Chains A and B, each alone.
Chain A
């Protein structure tokens, strides 16, 4: 079973920040949080990952709570092209344990 829970769907106005939450209350100290998105049945696209600290790249920001039991992916200025299913995944960083277990994800719809 997936170790994460996400809202089934969310809407966001174009140009506004999209904040996608993820609950991973059973996360272990050696597990990363990864975010991917899947646009219209294409292959999932890697967005960002983190362990303890907040992370930012050209696509998004990842905010991880201090207890690491939840995180939020932030798309700072959502566009129509950001409409996709967003998956939050936890994965051990120990070498040899690379398996991803996908949950149901959040279907984000960006509205014009």
Chain B
């Protein structure tokens, strides 16, 4: 498995601002993903972070709202833009290791938008 860290672990933000969440892995991985978990709900895939190219977004998620970067094989960022209270969620990154093809998840970032 991989060791995954996320920064910040939690934050409280004001409506209309943006927050960038970082995901760092301790080894090179083939794929990285970003998920959202709204209060009391299950996880929903936002996008696949592609190294060196634009992220692949799932239905209902757009780049203008959730821009993603992946400059190398161990790091990715997710920005939540122009936040509203409806964006209050846990945001999780996950990685896919090449050999086993199993996803491993980071600890999550807990976001509260006021």
Contact = CB atoms under 8 A, between A and B. Distances in A.
On whether the two chains bind one another, the answer is: yes
Given A93-B101, A98-B31, A43 B92 contact: yes
Contacts of A87: 42
Interface string A39-82: 00111111001000000000000000000000000000000000
Contact of A103 (B42, B48, B96): B42
Contact of B42 (A34, A45, A98, A105): A105
Interface string B39-50: 000111100100
Contacts of A36: 105
B108 A102 contact: no
B67 interface: no
A98 B96 contact: yes
Say whether chain B's binding surface is mostly helix, strand, loop, or mixed.
strand
B28 interface: no
Interface string B89-114: 01010101000011111111010000
Interface in A81-112: 87, 93, 95, 98-105
Interface in B58-114: 90, 92, 94, 96, 101-108, 110
A19 B33 CA distance: 30
Contacts of A95: 101
B20 interface: no
Interface of B: 1, 4, 31, 33, 37, 42-45, 48, 90, 92, 94, 96, 101-108, 110
8 contacts: A42-B108, A43-B108, A44-B105, A46-B1, A46-B103, A98-B103, A99-B45, A100-B103
